[in-house]
Chain A
Amino acid sequence: QSALTQPPSASGSPGQSVTISCTGTSSDVGSYNYVSWYQQHPGKAPKLMIYEVNKRPSGVPDRFSGSKSGNTASLTVSGLQTEDEADYYCSSFEGSNISYVFGSGTKVTVL
């Protein structure tokens, strides 16, 4: 069960957009619309930002959006704000082992 692949870092200025990719395989991201995204600030518990590829839980700003194409999912943060600076992790259901796999994590910096 290998981790999903994310870029180690991404950055943007306030008000700009940043997109984070999450690449898996045909056993996980490519086969299921069960991709979720989590935001984690240092020393804090992760927070669910997107589930089922592109759905936002109540309370998550619509600046956060998700999409998927083939084996790659993406999270876009539009109108970057300083509080968006955090680590972001994707996750997917993995069917062959009936398990979940997380991405390697991306540190987003707001310049």
Chain B
Amino acid sequence: EVQLVESGGGLVQPGGSLRLSCAASGFTFSGYWMTWVRQAPGKGLEWVANIKQDGSEKYYVGSVKGRFTISRDNAKNSLYLQMNSLRVEDTAVYHCARHIDWAFDMWGRGTLVTVSS
């Protein structure tokens, strides 16, 4: 069974840092682009970043460039999102998703990040 499980969310103060993880199973992780998508409470989906199979290409939404870093460890079947200089507006559920054919075909249930003083 294909599964994506996020972890690492929590409460952090503005300006703080957090590292999210996504554990993949049930498929050949190293064969896929991977993505992070977030959803603020009661709001819509927002694409955050994606990363190529070998990590050689990474792309970000403008609002997180310079603050967030996406990475992966194919040996551990894991995807990461390092989030620095966090802002109140970064509060959201963060989902990892598998990329296929210019779409996101498998999603994790997400981990909640709350940025508040």
B-binding residues in A (CB < 8 A): 1, 3, 32, 34, 36, 38, 40, 44-48, 51-52, 55, 57, 89, 91, 93, 97-105
Contact = CB atoms under 8 A, between A and B. Distances in A.
A45 B44 contact: no
B101 interface: yes
Contacts of B60: 99
Given A45-B95, A46-B95, A52 B44 contact: no
Interface stretch (B14-22, B80-88, B107-115): B107-115
A45 B62 contact: no
A47 B107 contact: yes
B107 A36 contact: no
Given A1-B61, A1-B62, A51-B101, A46 B107 contact: yes
Interface residues on B, range: 20 to 34
B44 A99 contact: no
A99 B107 contact: no
B45 A99 contact: no
A104 B45 CA distance: 8
Interface in B58-107: 59-62, 95, 100-107
30 contacts: A3-B46, A32-B102, A34-B103, A36-B102, A36-B104, A38-B104, A40-B45, A44-B109, A45-B95, A45-B109, A46-B95, A46-B104, A48-B104, A48-B105, A48-B106, A51-B101, A51-B103, A51-B105, A52-B101, A55-B101, A57-B105, A91-B45, A91-B47, A97-B59, A99-B60, A99-B61, A101-B47, A102-B37, A103-B44, A105-B44
A45 B59 contact: no
